[in-house]
Amino acid sequence: MTAAAMPQGAGLHAGHDDRPWIRRYVFSTDHKTIGIQFLFLSLFFLLAGGLLAMVIRWQLGFPGTPVPGGSILPDAMAPGGVIRPSFYNALVTMHGTFMIFFAVMPLLTGVFANYLIPLKIGAPDMAFPRLNMWSFWLMIPAGTLALAGFFVEGGTAAAGWTAYAPLSNSPLYTGVSAGQVLWCLAIVIFGASSLLGSVNYVTTVINLRAPGMTWMRLPLSVWALFITAILALLAVPILAGAIIMLLFDQVLGTHFYLPTGGGQPLLWQHLFWFFGHPEVYILILPAMGLVSDVIANGSRKPVFGYPTMVAAIGGIAFLGFIVWGHHMFVSGMNPRLGTTFMASTMLIAVPTSIKVFNWLGTMWRGNIHFHVPMLNAIGFLSMFVIGGLSGIFMAATPVDMYIHDSYFIVAHIHYVLFGGSLFAAFAGIYYWFPKMFGRRMDERLGRIHFALTFVFYNLTFFPMHLLGLGGHMRRIYDPTQYPFLAPLQPINRFISVSAFLLLTSQLPFAFNFFRSLFRGERAEINPWRDNSLEWTLPSPPPHGNFAATPTVYRGPYEYSVPGEVEDFLPQDRPARAAAEAH
Amino acid sequence: MEGTRKHPNYVAVWGALFALTVLEVAAVYVGLPRHLLVLSLLLLAAWKALLVALYFMHLRFEPRRLALVAMTPLPLGVILVVAVLQEYAKR
Amino acid sequence: MAHAAPLSAPRAEQGLGVYTQKLGMWVFLASEVMFFTALIGSYIILRWGSAESWPVPHEILAIPITALNTFILICSSVSMVKAYAAATQDDQKGLRRWLLLTVIGGATFVGVQAFEYHHLISEGLLPSGIREGSALAARLVDTGKVSATAAGLFGSAFFTMTGFHGFHVTCGVICMTFVTIKAFRGGYRGGRYHGIETIGLYWHFVDLVWIILFTIVYLI
């Protein structure tokens, strides 16, 4: 309760850093260090989730055959290397869990919110640096518990990342007991971490902006991260409550979701998706924000329609709270309720498309530089549109009746999460790596990584639309058990091979990332010629960030200003008339 | 930043809270018809909650936007509960 | 649009005009509202949707002692806000007195709740339902007044909601103890009231949640 706010003048501490090693790199309260810690954590879980996906794809492409290297797995999971159906359920569950909670969310919010917000608004650090440190370190027990499930009797959680009750309630159905409990605990702890972070982000953006950094001069990345934090604050506690009740059903003998005890399985679905839908906007809004910054920079043009972009972020966030039922069209819920959800879901396409058109408007007649972050941002734009278009199909309840829980949905998810969030995350990593580490990543390797990823990603996920329309259901262990799916099996094999190549395509990125950490070309202060405040600081910025609190004179997207010598105009450069008056 | 702090009459608020609590408990034992009982209990509870929020938590004297922060969860909670209650609506 | 003039006397952006510690607490409390909404909302939904006869709460729970406990918590809220008023006026004696009363009030509340839990459990109300052969079972279930499943669900929800509220009060009492010790050491001298106000907000919030809980769980 005594965490004091950092006064604006605390920036005077910048450069004077006598912290011991452990306070500087391990238990650090510096938002930049915490952001980088989140980066390593999320990249680890991205890899873990990706490896799980490879095993899933092996089973789907070549059902019943031993997975290469599968002999190291115990018999309970894969006797003779052949994946058991029960282990397959665990795989799909933990793939989703790792990717959503431990990879993409920490990558977009944990990394970029932590790293960028204080820098971009001209603050010395977050509002509550010690809480921020806790936010990262809580991820360690959360991640450990999530991983631990693989090693307990009965295996890890196997009810899907959506943990529908009564499947998730009781070992009766999945044979999993301790694993599901560990999963619940892991997510609750993760929720606490997320909340601590969100309190920080919201408070910092509201209260710690430098003089002149008005709301309408904030970079869109900051707006997006700010509104995402509000979404998390309001949605994650619902998940926590729902999971606590699930946990009590599992260990205390309560009956919240168990029909035999008078409970309601649909209650779980409503609670989960009331969180779950804002959650997907938590996963995409930061990506949209990052991409706005990168596209403006790569086009050397201001973002088209900045106020509308802000309003669209707000509109998406608000509408995101009243569409959750579209995940439940086939659950047997009240049809009239379903209709209202259909209407609101279709409505949410409006602010989303506004953003897409505005990005296109930003690039239109711009002086486009196809640097690696820009390539990834354009990749985001195009792939997210495809994911959004499949969303229109799903929004129409009668259509969704057919494609729900089919591979059409899996295609949609991955187009928006990989094609959307992950490409944006790559753009962000390539873009801010120089600032974080003082070194540049290799451009050529970056282009190779983008090209290979883009190709194999589309080859992996686009055919899933076809599978879904053909009736291929989701989370299924062996598609060949159904004769009507037999004609689709070659597509499954094709997808699996593409997926293996997709994972392999990440090697240039991994190699580039780690080599550049130590051997990368030294980065200048502002390699991308960007206007935002972090690009006025050394790479990496010192503890405390700004030697003197900056003053902001303009918005963040003043590129190619007529009459200016350079094609960018930093936010903190005084107006020429005022400068000439000195 | 905040100048002199305004302090309302906390004892008066306390008295009101006491009286409202007594009314609430009395309502249960007086034997009102069910709908009226539920309605009056909800109103009394809301009134008490508002007193605590406005006077003890000083929302009455804070910048209006802070009240916005505090109020934001409420419509969401209502939406959630009302929507899910539709599952039990008579068709 | 290109050359926006700087403010004539640049000052930090005001935000909401509320100091950071307080703003952070309010933001946190907004998320706590959502948490209790999940629990209380689920109770409302389960009860409304229960096809079977739901127990009348005051036939299981003791209204008189809980009403008294509600009053005790409200009193501790008053002493909390009096402590805050004392802090703003640099009245150290008053601050210490009122903080001490708040801790005692909060601890009493938790104590009475614990006593009530013990009593209910021995009567036969458990999170998992009504214990067979217990006094409650004999009074309510075996006589057919209430179905076993509905009573079980009531038990589940009751302990979850009041348990988490009690957990929040307990955390509050612990923090309040630290704050009180700091006050006795002069940590809030000279009109330094921010920490008192911030923890006060948390305390009032916990009281507010109880006002809702008492009505919805015990009375309705």
pLDDT in tens, A360-372: 999 999 999 999 9
Enzyme catalytic residues of A: 95, 125, 161, 193-194, 277, 279, 281, 292, 326-327, 352, 355, 474
- The pLDDT of C66-90, averaged and rounded, is 96
pLDDT in tens, A246-293: 999 999 999 999 988 889 999 999 999 999 999 999 999 999 999 999
User: Which residue from A183, A182, A202, A184 is spatially nearest to A135, judged by alpha carbons?
Assistant: A202
Q: Which residue has the higher pLDDT, A53 or A171?
A: A53
pLDDT on residue B5: 66
DSSP A278-336: HHHHHHHHHHHHHHHHHHHHHHTSPPTTHHHHHHHHHHHHHHGGG-GGGG-TTTT--HH
For residue A421 the two structure tokens come to: 């969030």
pLDDT on residue A234: 97
Cβ count within 10 A of residue C209: 24
Q: Which domain holds residue A246?
A: 32-580
Taking the model in full, what pTM does it have? 0.94
* Predicted confidence (pLDDT) at residue A12 exceeds the cutoff of 60: no
Q: Token match 């409302």: residue?
A: C44
Query: Is residue A130 a part of any domain in this protein?
Result: yes
pLDDT in tens, C147-194: 888 988 999 999 999 999 999 999 999 999 999 999 999 999 988 899
Distance between the two ends of chain A, CA-based, in angstroms?
46
Query: Is residue A103 a part of any domain in this protein?
Result: yes
Query: Is residue A15 a part of any domain in this protein?
Result: no
Query: Is residue A11 a part of any domain in this protein?
Result: no
Query: Is residue A3 a part of any domain in this protein?
Result: no
Q: Which residues of B touch A334 (CB under 8 A)?
A: 86-87, 89, 91
Query: Is residue A21 a part of any domain in this protein?
Result: no
CB spacing of B76 vs A234 below 8 angstroms:
yes
CB spacing of B77 vs C29 below 8 angstroms:
no
pLDDT on residue C3: 41
Q: Which residue has the higher pLDDT, C131 or C10?
A: C131
pLDDT on residue B6: 73
- The pLDDT of C43-59, averaged and rounded, is 89
How far away is chain C from the Cα of A287, in angstroms, using its nearest Cα? 23
* Predicted confidence (pLDDT) at residue A455 exceeds the cutoff of 60: yes
Q: From CA C117, how far away is CA A319, in angstroms rounded? A: 42
Average pLDDT, chain C: 91
Query: Is residue A361 a part of any domain in this protein?
Result: yes
- The pLDDT of A475-500, averaged and rounded, is 96
* Predicted confidence (pLDDT) at residue C4 exceeds the cutoff of 60: no
Instruction: List the beta bridge partners of residue C133.
Output: none
Query: Is residue A6 a part of any domain in this protein?
Result: no
Q: Which residues of C touch A128 (CB under 8 A)?
A: 24
For chain A, the domain total comes to: 1
Domains and CATH numbers, chain C: 20-53+67-219 (1.20.120.80)
Helix orientation angle between A335-347 and A349-363, rounded to the nearest 10 degrees: 10
Q: Quote the ipTM score.
A: 0.92
How far away is chain A from the Cα of B63, in angstroms, using its nearest Cα? 14
CB spacing of C16 vs B24 below 8 angstroms:
no
What CATH code is carried by the domain that includes residue A192?
1.20.210.10
pLDDT in tens, A410-435: 999 999 999 999 999 999 999 999 99
SS3 assignment, position A471? coil
